[in-house]
């Protein structure tokens, strides 16, 4: 798609870090983008500030309890105030919408992501859980409706940038041996495993390279985030597990690599700044200014790579196992992990219990073929109930 006319954007999760980076870029290109709709979960103050700044046609709050307050506080503006998941889904399907940026964290982003591709829209996907939970459904719908998906995760966007310009997400890339997803290793890569029991939520959320939300920061600390990215890469690039490798790269300069059959390895390098992949997505493969700095390689001379430690970080192996199992295994792992991470952040369980409980849930789960969203929603509730019970009984 050309950038010759102003594109109408829907930004799901506008109050989060992906929303911040996206809106920073949008503000630099008022001739290219119009903020048509924004959504947030419960951050009234920020939603109000963004509404005044960007004047979207719609503002939606997913936590319906805050709807009346938001509507009252924005009563003097022309913006229409909405609430709830159903309205979010409806916004994504509007004919006026050109691009949907999916920046909602967690499985809550599944329904609007699916609605976007079913409507044949361009989707800029930062919500990995939608693919982890419903990858088969999302990719089938995207292919059927000719929807264009551009991954915004720095690793998958790096892979996308290293593939030919005519490559379509959802198809197997030609002439490649494998892809390499890089991982920072998180804050505990060099920490002794026997001390993991003592890790606090504050320590787990202190990522050395990236400024992220609390949930994704914990996932990075357990390496579950990389595990989810393996699952996501499996769906995005239609690759078997044996063609998806992980290298720990503490400097976070090379964001991922594509290894071709002729021995060439193409890599995408850059500062650890999410505006770089988001700008590439917003430009629909055209390069636009992002506000990010060019990396100074002379001052970043040491680029290190290590094999991942599956014993020390068992969540990474759980994700690979889930891909091998197929069907609903990946969704079950994601649902359980959301509960265990929240429990750790609330200091109900120790850091090491995240992987232990996730593994227990996976071991006793019955795996079925993914059929529809309703099945996944039921599975979500059932898995959360079981996982919450395990959290409660954890000693």
Exposure string for 315-330, b = 16+ CB within 10 A, e = fewer: bbbbbbbbbeeebbbb
Confidence at residue 127, expressed as pLDDT on a 0 to 100 scale = 86
- Alpha carbon 74 to chain centroid, angstroms: 30
CATH class of the domain defined by 7-147: alpha beta
- For 298, phi then psi, to 5°, come to -70, -25
H or E element: which one contains 256?
strand 254-260
pTM reported for the whole predicted model: 0.92
What residues in the chain have per-residue pLDDT under 50? 1-3
DSSP 306: B
- The ranges assigned to domains in the chain are 7-147, 153-321
Residue 355: partners with Cβ closer than 8 Å, 6 or more residues away = 222, 313, 314, 315, 318
The dihedral sign for the CA sequence 138, 143, 148, 153: positive
Long-range contacts of 40-46 (CB under 8 A, 24+ apart): 40/13, 40/14, 40/15, 40/16, 41/13, 41/15, 41/104, 42/66, 43/15, 44/69, 44/70, 44/73, 46/14, 46/15
H or E element: which one contains 264?
none
Alpha-carbon distance of 246 to 182, in angstroms, equals 6
Confidence at residue 211, expressed as pLDDT on a 0 to 100 scale = 66
- Alpha carbon 126 to chain centroid, angstroms: 4
Beta strands at 99-102 and 7-12: parallel, antiparallel or unpaired: parallel
**Residues 18, 103 contacting (CB under 8 angstroms):** yes
Confidence at residue 110, expressed as pLDDT on a 0 to 100 scale = 87
Confidence at residue 138, expressed as pLDDT on a 0 to 100 scale = 95
9 forms beta bridges with: 35, 99
Helix (H, G, I), strand (E, B), or coil: what is residue 36?
strand
């Amino acid at each position: 798609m050309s950038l010759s006319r102003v594109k109408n954007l829907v930004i799901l999760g506008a109050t989060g870090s992906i929303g911040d980076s996206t809106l920073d870029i949008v503000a630099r290109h008022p001739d290219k983008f119009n903020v048509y709709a924004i959504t947030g979960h419960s951050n009234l103050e920020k939603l109000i500030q963004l509404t005044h700044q960007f004047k979207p046609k719609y503002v939606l709050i997913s936590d319906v309890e805050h709807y009346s307050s938001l509507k009252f506080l924005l009563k003097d503006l022309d913006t229409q105030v909405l609430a709830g998941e159903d309205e979010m889904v409806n916004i994504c399907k509007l004919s006026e919408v050109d691009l949907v940026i999916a920046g909602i964290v967690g499985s809550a982003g599944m329904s609007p992501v699916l609605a976007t591709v079913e409507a044949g829209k361009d989707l800029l996907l930062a919500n990995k859980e939608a693919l982890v939970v419903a990858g088969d459904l999302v990719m089938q719908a995207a292919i059927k409706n000719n929807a264009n998906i551009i991954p915004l995760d720095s690793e998958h966007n790096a892979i996308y940038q290293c593939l030919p310009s005519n490559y379509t997400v959802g198809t197997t890339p030609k002439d490649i041996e494998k892809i390499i997803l890089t991982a920072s290793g998180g804050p505990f890569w060099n920490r002794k495993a026997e001390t993991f029991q003592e890790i606090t939520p504050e320590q787990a959320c202190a990522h050395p390279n990236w400024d992220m939300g609390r949930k994704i920061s914990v996932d990075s600390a357990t390496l579950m985030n990389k595990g989810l990215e393996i699952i996501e890469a499996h769906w995005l690039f239609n690759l078997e597990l044996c063609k998806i490798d992980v290298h720990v790269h503490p400097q976070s300069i090379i964001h991922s690599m594509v290894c071709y059959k002729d021995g060439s390895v193409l890599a995408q390098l850059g500062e650890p700044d999410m505006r770089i992949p988001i700008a590439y997505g917003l430009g629909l493969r055209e390069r636009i200014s992002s506000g990010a700095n060019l990396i100074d390689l002379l001052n970043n001379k040491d680029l290190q790579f290590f094999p991942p430690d599956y014993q020390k970080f068992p969540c990474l192996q759980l994700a690979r196992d889930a891909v091998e199992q197929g069907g609903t295994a990946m969704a079950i792992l994601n649902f359980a992990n959301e509960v265990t991470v929240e429990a750790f952040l609330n200091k109900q369980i120790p850091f090491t219990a995240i992987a232990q409980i996730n593994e227990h849930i996976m071991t006793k789960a019955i795996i079925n073929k993914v059929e529809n969203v309703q099945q996944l929603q039921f599975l979500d509730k059932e898995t959360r109930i079981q996982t919450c019970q395990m959290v409660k009984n954890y000693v």
